Structure 1
C-alpha cells in the first residue's frame, strides 16, 4: 500500500492440545444447541464473564439434550435464588460476584437469538440491571448514556487505578458486546487507563434497549463519542480496542479520526461487507442494521472500511490474530496491519489461538494492556 510499513510480526507457539469442556453432544441435541456448543467454547464463555463452573455446567447440560437458552436462564435464576445456602450472611464481595455471574449467564441465554423481540429485550435489560447493581456495590464503574448521531449509545465507564495516562474505548462485534468485555476493561484499568466499554451502533443495550442501529452514517456516532471523551478528560489521549467485527470498526476509525492515538484490532475482518452465506451469523449482521433485506444490510456493512489505499492509519496499530481462527484469516490480519502509515505496526499471532484469542485470555489481556498503556503514555507525555 502507498505509505504503508511492513508490520513487525510476533508468533507465540503453543501445542494446541486444549479439550476442556468439549463434550460430544448426545443424539437428542437439536441443531441450535449444537451450533451454540460449537460457537461458545468453555474459553469463550469465560472470556465473556461466565464463571468456570457455570460454563462447564451449561455446556454439559446442553450437550445432554437441554435447551441452551432455558438452561442458561435457569442457572442465572439459581444463583439469584440461593445466596450461599444461608450458611452465613452474604457479604458485599460475594454479592458482587453472584450478580456478575448471573448477568453473564443471562447474556449468554440470548446469544443465539437472531430476532430483536420483547423477550430478548427483557433478557438484556435484566442482565444490565444485575450488572449495574454489581457496579454500584463495587464502585469501580458507572453506566453512561451518550447522546450521539443516530440515538443514544450506552456504555460502562471504568476508571483507572491511579492517575490515568489515557482513555480507551472497547467495543465488541456481532455477538459479544460491552458488558461481555468487562474482564478486558478490568485489565486495562489496572494499567492506568480509563476504559469506556461501549455498545456502539447496532450493539447490545444501544440497539436492543435504545433502538440505535448501525446505519451508513455510523461513523458520526463515534465522532460524538470521541467528542465526549475529549470533554470529560481534556488532554488525555484516546485509544481503541475493537474485538471481532469491532476490530474492523476500530481500524476504520483510526484512519478517519486523528484523535485516536493508538488502535488495537483483535480478530477483525479486513472486508466486513464481503458476500456471506445466509446463515445465523449473517442474520445477526442483518439485525445489527435492522434490515430484513440481505442486500440492504450488505450495503451498510460495506461502509465499514478498515483498509483503504487512500486513507492509511496514522497512529500506532496492534493486530492480534489467532492461528486457528475459523472466521478471520491471517491475510485479513496482515492487510489491516499493513495499512498503518506511522511506522509502528505490529501483529501478534497465537499459533493455536481461536477467534479473538479467548483460549489465551490472560496473555491476550497482558499484551493488549501493556501495549496500549505504553503508546498512550508516550502520547500523553508528548502532549504535555
Structure 2
C-alpha cells in the first residue's frame, strides 16, 4: 500500500513518486528481488521507462538467465533466477492500482513463473463461493512440525512472501502463502473480493491445512500490512488458530485520503462506490470488547511506519491475554519492517516454533 506521503520524491512526477514511495529498495529486497535489479528499477523507472515496463524487462532478463542455466545443468542457478523473475513481476503489477488488463496479465505471468519453482513451491487452490482461492505451499525437508499460513494486504500477496516461507521451512515449519479474497488470482482471475465476512475466506486455508495428511501439528497465522487485520479477526473467531502474528495493521480501517491508496482499497472491495468501501471498512473494525484473541499474539511495529501507528494497533493487544501477548518494536522500522526483514523473519520463525510446538515458556 502506498504511504501517501506528499513530501517524498518531489523531483519525480506524482505517479512515479508514489510508486517509489510504495516500493522502496527495502521492500523490493524484502520480497525477494535481486539487489542489482532493485537498484536498476529504482534508477530507471519513470526516467527511461514506465515502472511496469522496467520491472517486466528485469523479469525477462532473469528468465533468460534461468533458461541458459538450466540448459547447462545448473538447476540451482535456474531456480534462483526464476525467483528473482517472479519478484520482479510481482512489483511490475503493483504499478497498477486498479484491475486493468495489464495488471491481470502481469500477475498471471508472475503466477506462471512461480509455478515453475516446483517442487520447492506447490500451487494450491480452494473452491470458495463462486470462485477459487489460491496459494502456495512450501514444505520443509522433513515432516512439518507445524504449519503457518501467511498473507499480505492490499498490494503484496502470496509468493511476495517466499523469503518468509524460507525462514519457516528452515525451522521445520510448513508455510502456506495465501491469496485470500481481494488478493492475487483469487481477485484478479476469480472475482473474489473483501467484504464484511472476509475471514470466512481466510478460514478456508485453515480447512485446507487440516485436510492435508502431510501437514500435522498446530496452525499459526500471520497477517502482513492490512492483512494483519484479517489475521486478528480470524484468530478471535476460529479456535483452530494456535498463534497469530500481526504486522503493521490498522485495527480501525478507514478510506485513505490519498488517491492511489483509495484506488487500491476500492479494487480490493471490488467497487468504485466509496460509500460501499467505507461500509465494508466499518464492518471490519476490530473491537477488543467483542473480539477476544485467546491464542498467543505477537504484535510487530515499526516506529517509522507511516501507515499504522502503534496506537492504531493497540486494540489487538487489548483483545489478548496480557500473559500471552508479546510486542516487538523497532524504533527505525519502516512499514511491516521492510528494513529489518532478516531479523523479523528469524524472530517470527522462532516465535511460531516455540508456540506451535509446545516449547514456549511463561514470560517473566
Deviates most, 361-370 or 333-342: 333-342
Work out which of the residue numbers 245, 249, 255 in structure 2 matches 1:268: 249
Q: Distance in 2 between matches of 1:46 and 1:184?
A: 12
Matched, 1:189 2:144: no
Query: What TM-score does the superposition give when structure 1 sets the normalisation length?
Result: 0.86
Deviates most, 279-288 or 314-323: 279-288
Work out which of the residue numbers 326, 333, 338 in structure 2 matches 1:358: 338
Q: Distance in 1 between matches of 2:216 and 2:105?
A: 39
SS of 1:147's partner is: strand
Work out which of the residue numbers 303, 306, 315 in structure 1 matches 2:283: 303
Note closer, same or farther for the CA distance 1:346–1:76 as it changes in structure 2 (3 Å cut).
Answer: same
CA shift, 1:213, in A, is: 1.4
Note closer, same or farther for the CA distance 1:217–1:329 as it changes in structure 2 (3 Å cut).
Answer: same
Q: Which string of whole-angstrom CA distances, capped at 9 and with x for unpartnered residues, describes residues 341-364 of structure 1?
A: 373101100110000001011100
Alignment check: 8 A CA contact 2:168 2:349 kept? yes
Alignment check: 8 A CA contact 2:288 2:318 kept? no
Alignment check: 8 A CA contact 1:143 1:157 kept? yes
Deviates most, 153-162 or 175-184: 153-162
Q: Distance in 1 between matches of 2:64 and 2:356?
A: 44
Matched, 1:157 2:137: yes
SS of 1:101's partner is: helix
Matched, 1:176 2:156: yes
Which residue number in structure 2 is paired with residue 346 of structure 1? Answer: 326
Note closer, same or farther for the CA distance 1:90–1:303 as it changes in structure 2 (3 Å cut).
Answer: farther
Work out which of the residue numbers 372, 378, 382 in structure 1 matches 2:352: 372
Q: Distance in 2 between matches of 1:200 and 1:238?
A: 17
Matched, 1:93 2:76: yes
Q: Which string of whole-angstrom CA distances, capped at 9 and with x for unpartnered residues, describes residues 188-243 of structure 1?
A: 11111111100010001111122211123322222332222212247621110100
Alignment check: 8 A CA contact 2:187 2:193 kept? yes
Q: Distance in 1 between matches of 2:307 and 2:145?
A: 34
Matched, 1:131 2:111: no
Q: Distance in 1 between matches of 2:158 and 2:66?
A: 26
Query: What TM-score does the superposition give when structure 2 sets the normalisation length?
Result: 0.91
Alignment check: 8 A CA contact 1:315 1:342 kept? no
Structure scoring higher RCO (CA < 8 A, sep ≥ 6) equals 1
Matched, 1:208 2:188: yes
- Mind listing any 5+ residue stretches in structure 1 that lack a counterpart? 1-23
CA shift, 1:310, in A, is: 2.1
Q: Distance in 2 between matches of 1:141 and 1:83?
A: 17
SS of 2:177's partner is: strand
CA shift, 1:108, in A, is: 0.8
Note closer, same or farther for the CA distance 1:333–1:78 as it changes in structure 2 (3 Å cut).
Answer: same
Alignment check: 8 A CA contact 1:25 1:64 kept? no
Taking the TM superposition and a 5 Å limit, the aligned residue runs for 1:57-96 are: 57-62=40-45, 64-82=47-65, 89=72, 91-96=74-79
SS of 2:88's partner is: helix
SS of 1:120's partner is: helix
Matched, 1:53 2:36: yes
CA shift, 1:148, in A, is: 2.4
Q: Distance in 2 between matches of 1:302 and 1:188?
A: 34
Q: Distance in 2 between matches of 1:189 and 1:35?
A: 34
Work out which of the residue numbers 293, 300, 314 in structure 2 matches 1:334: 314
Q: Distance in 1 between matches of 2:66 and 2:300?
A: 39
Alignment check: 8 A CA contact 2:26 2:338 kept? yes
Q: Distance in 2 between matches of 1:364 and 1:164?
A: 21
CA shift, 1:186, in A, is: 1.0
